[in-house]
A and B are shown apart, each in its own frame.
Chain A
Amino acid sequence: MAVAVDTTRGMGASALRKEDGELLTGQARFIDDIKLPGMAHMVVVRSPFAHATITGIDSTAARRLAGVSAVYTADDLEFAAGVPCASNPTGQVRQPERPPLAKGKVRHAGEPVAIVLAADRYVARDAADLVQVSYDVLPAVIGVDAALASGAPLVHDQYPDNVCVVIENVTDGVEEAFAAADVVVKQTLHNQRTIPGAIEPRGVVAHWIGSSDELMVHSSTQIPHFVRTFLAICCNVSEAKVRVIAPDVGGGFGGKLNCYAEEFIAAAASKQLGAPVKWIEERSESLVATIHGRAQDAHMEIAADGEGKILALRAHYIQDVGSYLQLLTPSIAHLTLFIAEGCYDIPQVDLKVTEVFTNTVPTDACRGAGRPEATHAIERTMDALAAEVGISREEVRRRNFVREFPHPTNTGITYDSGDYDKTLDRALEVSDPAGFEARRAEAKSRGRLLGRGLSTYVEICGLAPSAVTHAIGLTPGGWESATVRIHPTGKVTVITGTAPHGQGHATSWSQIIESELGIPFDDVEVIHGDTAFAPYGLGTYGSRSVAVGGTAIHKAAGRVRDKARQVAAHMMEASPDDLEFQDGAFRVKGSPDRSTGMGEVAFRAWQGFDLPEGVDPGLDETVFFDPPNFTFPFGCHICEAEVEPDTGRVEITRYVAVDDCGNVVNPAIVDGQVHGGVIHSVGQALYEGVIYDEDGQLLTSSFVDYLIPGAPDVPSVETYRTETPSPTNPLGVKGIGEAGTIAATAAIVGAVCDATGVRDIDMPLQPERVWRAMNEGGAA
């Protein structure tokens, strides 16, 4: 009987997501939905001070409260190691010890000091308020300028200048280039401190099973295998006895790309208590317990000839790393340095990153991770160069675009492929620059100032190969794993090392399988996020999943197909070379009626009899794929924004995004990533910012004070694409999760500056700041 098989959802189709069913009917399982018998709720007692010596902890009253199971401090829980940092770009990074629970000193407001455990979460919360911690308050150092000043208080006594690391990259002819320049533009850009801001806060459920000494941990994480490895190290348990499960994860944006103190504390507490322990982060807690992002100043200088052709770039970045180093902290500004040159062919560079300790929450990867900062700095400085030379902002970019690929940069990486004119041309074509003056006049008739900004960006995805990740000081490699398993009935299980949290991997990976094996999308199940099932996987971050993890699936499927071809040939008594594979079946060339479907092959491979010589039973292949290079997506974003001159209020009236992320697996998902990425940076450009007072108290400690934009606050995003395949992987894909975020701030600030005639304004462009810039002058 012929059965209609839907094979229309391969690579390139906007297949509707298979993840949606559970998420849309309340059947999803997020971290706070997990309940284990006998589970205790953990509440963390945190330092109220930015810098202090702990002189005593009295937990008597907390312990006496009815329903409290235990109160633990650093003296009660044993750890074999501290909170890990897996990044050391120069080999010279100062990596301070960081015990999961503070010992002796606290170095930021919010640092964990003690925990309370109770069966009832309200009781645990009450008891936390009864833990009396005595402190001798020390002077705090807030902001990089204060930290680098002579005589500044020291965040760590052993580091007398508060400097964590200095990374430099200088070519030989910089001074000569500046001396020979017709034009030099200078600009300082402040990339304010922000938060990742996933709507689901973090959480962990740890269960130390005493009878077998096994540790099972559910965590809302982007990196379950890393969490497993570091739980094993930190909690001194065999890694083979640790199982980490990332359940449905409610957004990450870098905030869950880490191994956090609370994960180790919950595991150790579960062992000590003899019961499962659950910790769910409260939002106000999240603001002081989950990493922050950005917090980088860029001091930019461009030397150019009279035509606007760049001769040299001097970029000195000062990165606020906060009080301690989280998993990748030192690498974030290193990524800024790598991509400092942007889309431009720059002969000489003097690049320097200075990373500085302060008494604040550690910074680490926040959507874009170093590349939004780099893009904002170079793009805003290109605008300044255009103004100085007296040419358009488009033209200054065209005069400097890289046009030959592969392109080795001065920072030691090689842009794989690109066509920067193409995305700029497309953005101009769809955004009607010719009609701009008419729109500006129309806005003026309404008392509004209209401006236009653009950003041409290139970014880095898929940190790999492992030789490079090692060379740049990252402990883990850059590869990814995949298993493709064909069951006897012809259905498929894919096990991926990626760890999606909204990216739709189950859908996209199923599409890759449909294209590679001709097995329908609906017959594919994707397993992720459980270390008990999956070969080691590096997880989801840095827009790496499709380029590395997707390619691993493509390769594993290819191996399955190669093996199936041998079995099919044997079954049809033909030579493997005489078979062609199409629509999920092998056919003998020239004899289209002789065919064997993948399902029949899988069944025979499972039966195991009469297989070709040297072919083992089963159709089950695992691949570890280590790409030969990063991928380098690029694009051009154009923003038009109106400013209300009496108030300084900004409204984005049009936003056009042209992105080139190579070949596309699912256009709808790619568009969705761009929408979200752009709006993340609309948040940074217009609304968001972490603010500390001079004593290190966080003033933006809830969503009342830290403004995540809502639907009325942001524009629609028009998405367009060009496709320049990556030569780095056989799928020709690049990555798109962060591109919007990387591109957007420069286009938005550029539009507001164009509207107001102010050279630059520090983000966020809140009304008062714009009004003051218009009336009192903008940023330097």
Chain B
Amino acid sequence: MMRAVTVTVNGVSHTTGVEPRTLLVHLLREQLNLTGTQVGCDTSNCGACTVWIDGDAVKACTVLAVQADGREVTTFEGISDGVSMHPMQQAFHEQHGLQCGYCTPGMVMTAIKLLEANPHPTDEEIRHGLEGNLCRCTGYHNIVAAIRSAAEGVPA
């Protein structure tokens, strides 16, 4: 009952066999060893598993691997070049926007898309943009500050 899927992940095409019920997050983590994407809740509440599919932020724990067949997936590992950090990663660093770091991949993946949709958000808009991502460490204060700071670096 294996299905062949071809998924382009971080620019590299992978063809692999999966059970139809395999979650995308498990394809990424278990088969492709991209462990930057985390699992925190099983119910799409926490957003630690957020990746981009064809440019949209989605929760990889709620997408079947077969649904990603033929599509482009970007994971947390794919947003920087391996030498310097993405400006959003840098902003999280500079604003102390992470503590344990477990929710951070999902937060950053969501935050980048948030600013793409709304380059100069208010704090309230940032908070609403994060409603699908949970953090227990930071109280969100410095996550909001990081996204605000990243937005200030975005040309008007």
Contact = CB atoms under 8 A, between A and B. Distances in A.
Interface of A: 16-17, 19-30, 32-33, 121-122, 197-201, 248-251, 253, 282-284, 501-504, 668-669, 671-672, 675-680, 682, 702-704, 708, 710-712, 714, 716-717, 740
A530 B136 CA distance: 25
A104 to B, nearest CB: 31
Given A716-B141, A717-B139, 12 more contacts: A25-B77, A29-B35, A122-B19, A200-B40, A676-B136, A710-B131, A710-B132, A710-B140, A711-B130, A712-B128, A712-B130, A712-B131
A283 B41 contact: yes
Interface in B90-114: 92-94, 96, 98-105, 108
Interface in B125-144: 126-128, 130-144
Rank and list the top 7 A-B pairs by shortest CB-CB distance, nearest first: A26-B36, A250-B102, A23-B101, A679-B139, A502-B100, A502-B99, A675-B139
Given A24-B104, A250-B100, A16 B94 contact: yes
Contacts of A121: 26, 30
Contacts of B108: 24
B106 to A, nearest CB: 9
Interface string B71-100: 000011100101001000100111010111
22 contacts: A24-B104, A25-B77, A25-B80, A26-B35, A26-B37, A26-B105, A200-B38, A250-B38, A671-B96, A672-B138, A675-B141, A675-B142, A676-B137, A676-B139, A679-B141, A680-B136, A703-B46, A710-B133, A711-B126, A711-B133, A712-B124, A716-B123
Given A25-B80, A251-B102, A703-B45, A714 B40 contact: no
B53 to A, nearest CB: 17
Most buried by A among B36, B37, B144: B36
Contact of B46 (A20, A199, A672, A677): A199
A716 B43 contact: no
A702 B101 contact: no
B98 to A, nearest CB: 6
Given A251-B136, A502-B137, A704-B45, A20 B98 contact: yes
B32 to A, nearest CB: 12
Contact of B136 (A30, A32, A702, A708): A708
Contacts of A703: 41, 43, 45-46, 134
Contact of B43 (A675, A678, A704): A704
Contacts of A284: 42-43
B34 interface: yes
B89 A25 contact: yes
Nearest to B142: A672
B21 A122 contact: yes
Contacts of A248: 100-101
Interface of A is mostly: loop
A248 B99 CA distance: 11
A702 B45 CA distance: 9
A379 B45 CA distance: 34
Contact of A30 (B76, B80, B102): B102
B151 interface: no
Contacts of A249: 100
Interface of B: 19, 21-22, 26, 29-30, 34-43, 45-46, 48, 75-77, 80, 82, 85, 89, 92-94, 96, 98-105, 108, 123-124, 126-128, 130-144
B57 to A, nearest CB: 15
Main secondary structure of the interface of B (DSSP, over half): loop
Contacts of A740: 139
Given A26-B35, A199-B103, A676 B19 contact: no
A76 B86 CA distance: 51
B96 A200 contact: no
Given A20-B93, A283-B40, A710-B130, A198 B100 contact: yes
A25 B10 CA distance: 14
Nearest to B102: A250
A676 B133 CA distance: 15
Among A16, A249, A710, A714: residue with most chain B CB under 10 A:
A710
Contact of A504 (B99, B133, B135, B143): B99
B136 A198 contact: yes
A495 B69 CA distance: 47
Contact of B41 (A20, A24, A669, A702): A702
A681 B141 CA distance: 14
A30 B101 CA distance: 10
A458 B102 CA distance: 31
A26 B76 contact: yes
A429 B103 CA distance: 36
B70 to A, nearest CB: 23
A672 B99 contact: yes
Most buried by B among A17, A676, A678: A676
B41 A672 contact: no
A33 B89 contact: no
Contact of A23 (B39, B98, B126): B98
Contact of B85 (A25, A33, A668): A25
Contacts of A680: 136, 139
Contact of B101 (A502, A708, A717): A502
B99 A676 contact: yes
B100 A200 contact: yes
Most B CB within 10 A of own CB, among A23, A284, A703: A23
Contacts of A23: 98, 100-101, 104
Contact of A711 (B46, B82, B140): B140
Contacts of A504: 99
A121 B132 CA distance: 26
A253 B136 contact: yes
A46 to B, nearest CB: 15
A282 B136 contact: no
B107 to A, nearest CB: 9
Contacts of B138: 672, 675-676, 679
A122 B123 CA distance: 41
A708 B134 contact: yes
Contacts of B105: 26
Contacts of B48: 199
